[in-house]
Structure formats: C-alpha cells, structure tokens
Amino acid sequence: MSVITFDTIQDARRRITDYVLKTPFVSSPALSHFCGVSVGMKLEHYQTTGSFKLRGATNAMLRLNQAERARGVVAASTGNHGRALSHAARALGSRATICMSRLVPENKVSEIRRLGADVRIIGCSQDDAQEEADRLAADDGLLMLPPFDHPDIIAGQATLGLDIVDAMPDVATVLVPLSGGGLAAGVAAAIKGVRPAAQIIGISIQRCAAMKASIDAGHPVKVDEVPSLADSLGGGIGLDNELTFAMCQALLDDVVLLTESEIATGIRHAYNEEREILEGAGAVGIAALLAGKIAGLREPIALVLSGRNIDMDLHCRIVSGETNPLRNAI
C-alpha cells in the first residue's frame, strides 16, 4: 500500500534526532476530568518552528545529496511546511522557494521571509500555489519537496508517533489533525506498528475537509478552499495523490469534522485551562473532545497539539469570546 515501513520511520527518527526537539508529553487533568478517561497531550507546538512540520522537512532535506541541495527546493504550503522547509534548507546550506495562496495568514508568510526563503503568493487556494511550485520545478530546476505526499516527509512526521508510544506505551486512542494526511498517515503507521489495536482518529474542519471528502468518494477530489480558524487544515490533497490518501483510507479508524465555533472553543480551552497558545489546527483534538464528537472513548487517549503559529491578534479575539474572530484576519 505504501513505501512507508516501520523500519523507514525508525531510520527517520535516527536521522533527524540532532535537528529537531523531542517535545514534551504531558497529562491534562482538565480534559481527563471532562472525559472521565486519561488524556495526554503531545506538545508538538513547542517544536523549533512552532509545528510538527520540521520533522518531515528535516528528514527530506537530510535525504538529499549536496548536488540536490545546491539546486534549491520548492514547495506549496499553507504556512507551517514552508516555515519548516525554509528553516531546514537554511540549516543545510540550501535555499527554499515557498508558494502560498492569499489565504495564508500574514504572520506565517512573514516568518518564512525572515528565514530567507523566496516567497511567492499565488491565487486563492493550495492548488493554485501548487501549480506555481510545479512551474518553478520544471522551469528553474528546483527540487520539489511537497508538504505531505512524499515518503520522506511522511516518515519524518511519523517519528512523532514513536514519541507518543514511548510516552504512553498503552495508548488506545490518538486524535491527530488531518489535512493533506502526512501527519495523520505517518502517526497512524508508527503507532499501529507497535500497537495494532490502537485507534487513530483524524480531526479536520467542516468547511473544506479534502481528505474526508476524498475518503467518502473513494478517490481524491477537489474542494473549495475557504478561510478557517484552522487555516493549516485547508487545501486539497492533490488529484494525483500517491501516498497519503491510500494510507489515510487504510489506517484511520474515523475522521471527525469540527465547526468554526468548536475550533474556537478548543483554542480557548488550551489557553485558559492548559496555559498553551495554539493555532486552530493545533487545538482540534481538544475541540473534538469538548464537543463530544469522539464516540466510544478508549483510554488512554493521546492528543497531538500540532502547532502554535497563530496570529496573536486573532488569538486575542478568540480567547476574549469575539463572535466573529476571523474578521480582518485573512
């Protein structure tokens, strides 16, 4: 079904260990009390670039030879992959070009520029940005390192799953943010490689969940991309998806979709109860529990808090209870 084996994931972990943080795993007394079961949180938003994406980007960059790094790399991104790839490229003496749509928040764009990447803002969707990345790869000889549908990217993200099993060896349920599927597919492959009976549940947004729509259709489909508090979960999976669609279809036990109000509640809980600042995508596991959308909870439960790169003005509006926090945010 895929080229991502358990040995591949273990190799990726050894490869990136000196380049990424082993982020904390902590219990959540508040969520455990609310759910009546043990809940732990993987604080991946503590990662150097503020999200899990550094794992995959670093693994992919380290797999390149010097000649390939000298060509430069290119990717489309909703923000966090671009930031991670820019960081990894600079650390290894390469240069990144990042293509993004106008839906990517400015705080993410400015951080990518700060890391020295060449930034291209193209169109109003991830698909538009991907077309530009494809053009640059073809015309300028840049090496494509996409945000999710790539074996080295998936293997790098999967190392997070190994960390979860190390911290919670008896983990029974893992809630993981789901967009293009690199994180969800990788984490599922890693955890099921150790605990085959564990259930892995992808959490996405109700407004434009491309992977959920694709799984329901039985093949990759396009969706209209709209602004969301969980902007990192927007974008398509690619109609020519080679890996993550099949992996998510086979390895995810369920996919849960959240409203914007539910995502906002997750962000507020993270701040008020857990003392953590999360972007929308990073808070969806919390939000799904609070919304009661996970049926038949099997404990212990692990949540992946995947990123913190939220515009702080937007965060302030959310935690203050503003009813339309996306106003002027995109």
pLDDT over threshold 90, residue 208: no
Q: Evaluate if residue 3 carries a pLDDT over 80.
A: no
At 126, the pLDDT band (50, 70, 90 cuts) reads confident
Name the pTM for this structure: 0.95
pLDDT digits (tens, 9 = 90+) for 222-249: 998 889 999 999 889 999 999 999 999 9
Average pLDDT for the chain: 95
Pseudo-torsion of CA 107, 109, 115, 118, nearest 10°?
-170
The string of DSSP letters for 236-293 reads ---TT--SHHHHHHHH-SEEEEE-HHHHHHHHHHHHHTS-----TGGGHHHHHHHTT-
Q: Region 278-287: what's the mean pLDDT?
A: 98
200: closest CA among 220, 217, 183? 183
Please indicate, yes or no, whether residues 118 and 263 belong to a single structural domain of this protein.
no
Residue 289 scores a pLDDT above 90: yes
Model confidence at 46: pLDDT above 80: yes
Query: What is the predicted pLDDT for the residue at 330?
Result: 39
**Residues 62 and 163 reside in one and the same domain:** no
The Cβ-side half-sphere exposure at 297, using a 13 Å CA radius, reads 21
- The answer to whether residues 132 and 21 belong to one domain is no
Residue appearing with tokens 């969707």: 125
Q: List, for residues 291-329, the tens digit of each pLDDT value.
A: 999 988 899 999 999 999 999 999 999 999 988 887 644
Whether 57 and 163 share a structural domain: no
Q: Do the beta carbons of residue 238 and residue 213 sit within 8 Å?
A: no
Check which CATH number belongs to the domain holding 207 and give it.
Answer: 3.40.50.1100
187 and 273, same domain (yes or no): yes
**The pLDDT value given to residue 235:** 85
Domain for residue 278, yes or no?
yes
The reported pLDDT for the residue numbered 296 is 85
DSSP secondary structure letters along 49-66: TSBTHHHHHHHHHHTS-H
| Residue 327: per-residue pLDDT | 64
